[in-house]
Structure 1
Amino acid sequence: MRVLGITFLFSATTFSQAEIVVNNLSKQSGQPNTSWSSEDVEMLLNKDVANVELSPQGSVTVKTTRNISTIPSTPVLSKPGQIVDTTAVFNNSPDVSARAALVMDAETGEVLYSKNSNASLPIASITKLMTAVVIADARLNMSETITLQQGDFSCAGCKSSSSTLRAGDTMNRAEALLFALMKSENPAAAALARTYPGGRSAFIAAMNAKAKQLGMTSTHYMESTGLHPGNVASARDLGILVTAASQYGLIRQFSTTPTYDFNLGYRVLKSNNTNALVRNGGWNINISKTGFINEAGRCVVMHTTLNNRPAIVVILGAPTTQARNDAAVNLMTWTSHLPKRL
């Protein structure tokens, strides 16, 4: 039995072999220990995306305010799904050095801040958020053992990357997903695609089909890790993806785990979340994913709560990790002081 931090149950027989409890995860994050009933876990893992508002075209409705010099008393809306740069709406809006950025009210769809948000850009490991959505949708056996193969450490057209994992390492599917979301381990994300029914090609097809279903019109996936610079999306599209991903308790839990000790049997990997804002615990972050390759720059997406307002923050193409973190803090601080309705 391998302790991971949360129980996954698809049936009573499946998980008698791999009972996973939340106590270890809670202890590491400083949260109170919690025990999950099978009913709680079933809801966490299999929660349908029932609260995402879909337009007739199948896209998530995104409401936007027009670029005007004063704050309107009520939102002035453009066409659903269209984002207008609203930076000039507020005289004190942050100056973000990243190539693109977006802050959106996650409840109403109002765009609070937008910079170059319709441009399709490389997204690096932000890709893994869609990888997680596809895995969650498939309702696979999360206790099934996955053994990493040499092919999981490289792919055609992909950038090279370092990893603390090795070919031959074994873990269950849940651990592979935690590795991919929390620590952004590329071999784990590659193995999730390889072990998907139909293999990698079926998995990539499922990623692109999900993007199309959600209305992510500027998005295309080449593989499951983000190492291929051909994995592209706009900040607008990623706002849609984060909205959808926020409906999965599994993704919320795993992407915001601050630290975890992975027991691989013959060694333990002490691992930290790639997002310092999650590790430091100063913000109420519900979903997090970072990314970096040279073509993409430093990227991050988050679903957070700011002054009781659920908000989505997207930053693409920051020049350094510090610039990315500074931009995120500045945008979140600024958003915290906005009126609830523009």
Structure 2
Amino acid sequence: MKIFKKISTYFLGVSLCIGLSSTSFAELQVNTTPIGVPKAQISWSDDDAKNLLSNDADEEDAPEGGTVVSITQRPGTTTKPPPVSDTRFFNNAGPIVKAGSALVMDAQTGEVLFSKNSSTARPMASITKLMTAVVIADAHLNMSEQITLDQVDFVGPKQASTKLRIGDQMNRAEVLLMALMKSENPAAAALARTYPGGKVAFISAMNLKAQQLGMHSTRYFESTGLDARNVSSARDLAILVAEAYKYGAIRQFSSTAHYDFDLGYRMLNASNTNALVRNGGWNINLSKTGFINEAGRCVVMHTTVNSRPAVVVLMGEPTTEARNADATDLLNWLSALPKDA
């Protein structure tokens, strides 16, 4: 008997549940709300799923072809990156991060609050998947369309662990969720393969979007991040995070802590690759991690701290523990920073 899949979700950090059968719904409640805030549940139909990404982008005041975020420095500072050994704060003294590159930006004003080698281009690993999601969002594709994972989706420049198998079938929304939350490489590869025009058109769209956004240090060669030629700077990734934040599906999917995928014949239990999202101690609106040897551990986040929306970027961390520690230190430092600082 054919299994009909439904996707049921709502955005802005409440809960998400996806039912995978027309008669039996496997639901997982995902709590991404602050402690003490009551959850609500909104269910919607397959017709809604088809338009999942159609109206998420806030295009007000956006130039044609994309939005350029202006990143500003404080008076008397320079846009030239400091030496590799130097970490510069523009207000109070703060933590010395181990990351090769880092940036904290006020998401409302574009003001740089913290910078370390933020203009240096380096491999970005699976942070690539954030642009993959933006390109999918911009294409307004049918999110309930079934995608079957092909052998080619598991072939790449590097071998990486995966819970997915050749022949697994999910709708496009679920594939996007798997790529953003669990950082599954075959999922990101399948999104590019099934894009109109295939992988070549998809990679072209990624690079065009980066150019339109003013991401001048960024180059994409594939959609997963396994290729070390995918490079960007902390500055460029801050611009990308600000753009990706406009899409409700990207916000929700990337900040989902846990999700159980019911494929009908087996369950896939998946958790977010960012421990700060899984632990729920911070108000993280959007998140993406990445790792390959050439890139080190990376993470980008859009967060709200003391009513200030901010973007945090860390690239080239030596270990996952160092990445988590640096992210936590920067968030703690940001929480103590005066709002007008």
CA separation of 1:259 and 1:43: change in aligned 2, threshold 3 A: closer
Task: Tell me if the contact between 2:8 and 2:44 (Cα under 8 Å) persists in the aligned partners.
Answer: no
Corresponding letter in the other structure for 1:139: H
Structure-2 residue corresponding to 1:114: 115
Task: Tell me if the contact between 2:81 and 2:120 (Cα under 8 Å) persists in the aligned partners.
Answer: no
Q: Distance in 1 between matches of 2:73 and 2:322?
A: 26
Corresponding letter in the other structure for 2:229: G
Counterpart of 2:9 in 1: which secondary structure? coil
What TM-score results when the alignment is normalised by the length of structure 2?
0.86
CA separation of 1:225 and 1:244: change in aligned 2, threshold 3 A: same
Is 2:292 the partner of 1:293? yes
Counterpart of 1:63 in 2: which secondary structure? coil
Measured on the aligned residues, the alpha-carbon RMSD in Å equals 2.8
What is the CA-CA distance between 1:44 and the residue it aligns to? 6.0
Greater shift in the superposed pair: 246-255 or 58-67: 58-67
What is the CA-CA distance between 1:233 and the residue it aligns to? 0.3
Structure-2 residue corresponding to 1:6: 9
Structure 2: where are the runs of 5+ without partners? Answer: 12-19, 34-38
Is 2:335 the partner of 1:328? no
Task: Please list the CA deviations of residues 285-342 of structure 1 after superposition, one character each: whole Å capped at 9, or x if unmatched.
Answer: 0000000000000000000001110000000010000100000000011011111123
CA separation of 1:23 and 1:269: change in aligned 2, threshold 3 A: closer
Q: Distance in 1 between matches of 2:198 and 2:21?
A: 24
Structure-2 residue corresponding to 1:28: 30
Q: When the two structures are aligned, how many residues end up with a matched partner?
A: 317
CA separation of 1:205 and 1:103: change in aligned 2, threshold 3 A: same
CA separation of 1:52 and 1:130: change in aligned 2, threshold 3 A: farther
Task: Please list the CA deviations of residues 242-298 of structure 1 after superposition, one character each: whole Å capped at 9, or x if unmatched.
Answer: 000000001001000100000112100011000010011000000000000000000
What is the CA-CA distance between 1:62 and the residue it aligns to? 1.1
Task: Tell me if the contact between 1:64 and 1:83 (Cα under 8 Å) persists in the aligned partners.
Answer: no
Which has a greater percent of helix?
A: 1
CA separation of 1:152 and 1:44: change in aligned 2, threshold 3 A: closer
Task: Please list the CA deviations of residues 149-193 of structure 1 after superposition, one character each: whole Å capped at 9, or x if unmatched.
Answer: 1110112xx221111101111111011000000000000000000
Structure-2 residue corresponding to 1:214: 213
Task: Please list the CA deviations of residues 74-103 of structure 1 after superposition, one character each: whole Å capped at 9, or x if unmatched.
Answer: xxxx7xxx5765824345211000100000
Identical positions, percent: 59
What TM-score results when the alignment is normalised by the length of structure 1?
0.85
> Which of 64, 88, 93 is the aligned partner of 2:73?
64
> Which of 55, 65, 76 is the aligned partner of 1:46?
55
